[in-house]
Amino acid sequence: MNQEQLADRLKSVSGNEPYKGELTQYAVQSILSGRSNYPIANLLAYCTDMNIRFGMEDMATEDCFYPNSVLEVHKTLDLLMRRYLIDAKMIYRKTGVHYTSPKSLDEEDLKRIGGEGGRKYQVSLSIKTLLAVCDVIHCRLLFDPK
């Protein structure tokens, strides 16, 4: 799936309803046009605000995961990468995209890491990176109405 296909899928699931939520108009246009490299946090917020259930499906086993945060998306990617013995180097070799997992997948560790410097540790992930990793690990993104 590429960004344009993702945008088309979101439009069809949402029924072209106008967006009413916390995201800026620019962020919503980035998601619906499928042309910019926006953070996954925006996609999760959009799905929540539009009553769309975001999911990730392992195409080999048909296991479905429904992450509610960026950290949970990272945990799902980590699980699938370990399952198929894929590392960040292989993702880069196949797609040319760098994937960097968080320093820890434990929320308490991340709070401690961020607390040492007096600021919160940010767990980020862009749509282009997610799509590249999903392509390598054969993971399909799901968008279902709630």
pLDDT of residue 109: 67
CB 31 within 8 A of CB 41: no
Least confident window among 24-33, 52-61, 109-118, 127-136: 109-118
- If one compares 141 and 110, the residue with the highest pLDDT of the two is 141
pLDDT digits (tens, 9 = 90+) for 18-64: 999 999 999 999 999 988 899 999 999 999 999 999 999 999 999 99
> Beta-carbon neighbour count of residue 85 at 10 Å?
7
Cα–Cα dist 91/99, whole Å: 7
- If one compares 105 and 51, the residue with the highest pLDDT of the two is 51
How many domains in the chain? 1
Cα–Cα dist 93/122, whole Å: 26
For the cut 70, the answer to whether the pLDDT of residue 121 exceeds it is no
Average pLDDT of span 112-130: 70
Alpha helices by DSSP H, listed for 15-142, are 25-33, 40-49, 70-83, 88-95, 107-116, 127-137
Average pLDDT value for the chain: 88
pTM, two decimal places: 0.87
Look up the domain containing 98 and give its range: 3-145
**Sign of the CA dihedral with 22 first, then 24, 27, and 33 last:** positive
